[in-house]
Amino acid sequence: MPVWYVAKDTPQDIDLRIAGKAARHCEIDAAHPAPLHARAVLRLEPDIGLQSLFAPWTGVELALNGVFLEGAAVLLRPADGVMVARRGSAHAIVHAREALLVTDLAHSALQLTRVSRVDCFIAPCDRLGEGAMAAAGAMSVFNASDDALQMLGNYGAALMRGLMPMKTPELREHVMAFMVNLVNIMAQHPDQPAGAPPSHRPDDRMIAIKSDIEARLTDQGLNARQVAEQHGISLRYLQKLFSDEMLTFSDFVLQRRLERAMRLLQSPQGDHMSISAIAFAVGFGDLSYFNRTFRRRFGFPPRQARSMSRAIHNMSASPPPARN
C-alpha cells in the first residue's frame, strides 16, 4: 500500500493524489527528519525499498551516513536539476533522470541544485552483482536513456501508485529480485565514471560547479584552481565560465558567503552566534574584511542587520493593541 509521510510545511505544489485515493497519510516526525530532509516521502508498506523524496534540501551538502539502512545500496535518481555526489576526493555529476548507485554511504554526501524530487531504490549490497558493486565504486552514472533504468523507473512508478498489489511475501520477494536484476543489467553498460573527461554543456557544468562551491563555502582555503581540478577543467576555462556570467570566481564566492551570513543573522539558528562566529562559519578568515564587504554589499553593518531582524520579529510576535 502506498503511504505518504508529510511535513506540516509541505509545499502546496506537491500533488499528494498521484498515489491514488487508497494511500495512507502520516506526519513526518520533526525529531526524525525524512531522508535528505524531504518535506514529503512516498513509500510502500510493506517496504520493498522504493521511496520518492519530494522537496529535499538543496544548496547544502547532505551526508548519507545514517540516512538509509546500514549495509544497503541506494540507487538515487533526481527527477530534475543537478545532483553532485561526493565520496572523498571523487565526485560524480548526475543530471535529471540519470542515476547513481551508492554503496559506501558512510563516506558519501550529496549536493542538490534545483531538484524537486529524488527517487530511490534501496537494496541489500549482498544482492548486487560484481558489476553493480564495481559501478558504485567507480561512481559511474547511469544514462537516462538506459533501457533497464527506464524499465525500473516505470515499474517502480506503477508500484508506488498501487497499480500492482503485492499481498504475499512471495510476490514481494519476486518484485525485489526483479528490480535488483534490473540494477545488475544497468551496471553492464554504465555511462561515465567519476574523473572521466566531462561532456556536459557549459550551463550544466556551471550548475555543478556552483553546487560544489555552495557545499564548500565554509572552507577558508577554497580557491579557483582547486575547483577547476575537482571538475577536470583548466583554470582558464573555469574563469571563462564565470566571465560569461559577468562575474569572477572570487566575486561569486564572496557574494554567496555574504548572503549566507545575512540568512544566519536573520534566522533563529544564528541568533545565539556572535558576529565573528557567523563570519568564520560562512568561510571568512578576517573579521574586518567581513564587516567591510558586508556593509558594501547591503548598505549597513552586520550588527544592524541583526537588530533590524529582531525588531521585525518582536513586532510580529507582539499581540495587536486592544480596541476600545
Record the cell numbers describing residue 286, joined without a space: 578576517
For the chain, the first-to-last Cα distance in angstroms comes to 56
Calculate the dihedral angle through the C-alpha atoms of 137, 143, 149, 150, rounding to the nearest 10 degrees. Answer: 170
- Decide if 159 contacts 1 (C-beta within 8 A): no
For cell 560569461, what's the residue?
244
Degrees to nearest 5, angle at CA 251 with 247 and 256: 115
| Strand spans (E) along 55-155 | 61-63, 72-78, 82-87, 90-95, 99-102, 108-113, 117-124, 141-142
Q: Which CATH class is domain 2-186?
A: mainly beta
| 296, HSE (Cβ side, Cα atoms, 13 Å) | 8
Render pLDDT for 162-205 as a digit per residue (tens, 0 to 9).
777 788 999 999 999 999 999 999 988 665 444 444 444 556 67
Render pLDDT for 271-282 as a digit per residue (tens, 0 to 9).
889 999 999 999
Render pLDDT for 53-70 as a digit per residue (tens, 0 to 9).
998 988 888 899 888 888
pLDDT reading at 19 higher than 60: no
pLDDT, mean of residues 253-268: 88
Give the model's pLDDT for residue 292: 94
Q: What is the DSSP string of 187-220?
A: TTS--PPTTSPP---HHHHHHHHHHHHHHTTT-T
CA 261 to chain centre: 21
Between 45 and 324, where is the model more confident? Answer: 45
Give the model's pLDDT for residue 197: 42
- Decide if 61 contacts 19 (C-beta within 8 A): no
Domain boundaries, the chain: 2-186, 216-316
Report residue 143: phi and psi, to 5°.
Answer: -65, 145
pLDDT reading at 95 higher than 60: yes
Report residue 115: phi and psi, to 5°.
Answer: -105, 120
pLDDT band of 93, cuts 50, 70, 90: confident
Give the model's pLDDT for residue 215: 81
Please state, as a whole number, how many other Cβ atoms lie within 10 Å of the Cβ of residue 183.
25
99-102: strand order across its sheet: 24-27, 2-6, 40-44, 50-54, 117-124, 72-78, 99-102, 141-142
Radius of gyration, alpha carbons of the chain: 23
pLDDT band of 213, cuts 50, 70, 90: confident
Render pLDDT for 24-38 as a digit per residue (tens, 0 to 9).
778 777 666 789 989
Please state, as a whole number, how many other Cβ atoms lie within 10 Å of the Cβ of residue 181.
14
Give the model's pLDDT for residue 25: 75
Please give the mean pLDDT across all residues of the chain: 84
- Decide if 85 contacts 102 (C-beta within 8 A): yes
Give the model's pLDDT for residue 321: 56
Which CATH architecture describes the domain 216-316? Orthogonal Bundle (1.10)
- What's the pTM? 0.62
Give the model's pLDDT for residue 22: 59
